Amino acid sequence: MQGAFRIQPATAADVPVILQLIRELAEYERAPNDVVATAEGLHEVLFGEKPAAHVLIGREGDEPVAFAVYFFNFSTWLGRAGLYLEDLFVRPELRGKGYGKALLVRLAQIANERGCGRMEWAVLDWNDPAIQFYRKLGAKPMDEWTVFRLTGDGIAALASVRTRQD
């Protein structure tokens, strides 16, 4: 698995690799049973008519060893797009080689090219190595913000609420 490290945008042919890296990330984040993504679903959402996200794959030689999943959001206060990093993962045995930093540098270049006003991402509060890594790169935690989430049934329940506009 030796060779030069390179970063490339994922293609539809990379869907099986992306799914494998997602599973490895879930294992690392102590949630292996939470992955419900399928190759077919990823193909549609990443490479279909309206792609919802983009993926960069980091390869050492020909071997995929890292990935970053990102999409563009919008800041009303800045009046500009932002880049949101959904996932960044480097296989644990290959950490410390600068691959994560290289992926973040490439993402910053993309954000800069697109005129983004900021880059944001979330990190699990127990993941101290990642927190320290991000701080070292100059990222600041947004401690005053709390993330909220609705999923399947919660989305459906809220969508079915009747409002005065109905």
CATH number of 5-159: 3.40.47.10, 1.10.287.180, 3.65.10.10, 3.40.630.30? 3.40.630.30
Question: Which of 71, 59, 57, 62 is closest to 121 using CA atoms?
Answer: 71
Handedness of CA 27, 14, 64, 84 (dihedral sign): negative
Q: Is 70 a catalytic residue?
A: no
The number of residues making up the chain comes to 166
Task: Count the Cβ atoms, other than its own, within 10 Å of residue 134.
Answer: 18
pLDDT above 70 (res 1): no
Q: What is the pLDDT of residues 106-118, one digit of tens each?
A: 999 999 999 999 9
pTM equals 0.92
Q: Residue 102 region, left (φ>0) first, then alpha (ψ -120 to 50), else beta?
A: alpha
Q: Report pLDDT for 2.
A: 66
Q: What is the pLDDT of residues 20-44, one digit of tens each?
A: 999 999 999 999 999 999 999 999 9
Bridge partners of residue 137, in order along the sequence: none
Domain positions in the chain: 5-159
Task: Please pick, among 70, 84, 99, 134, the residue that the annotation labels catalytic.
Answer: 134
Phi/psi of residue 101, nearest 5 degrees: -65, -40
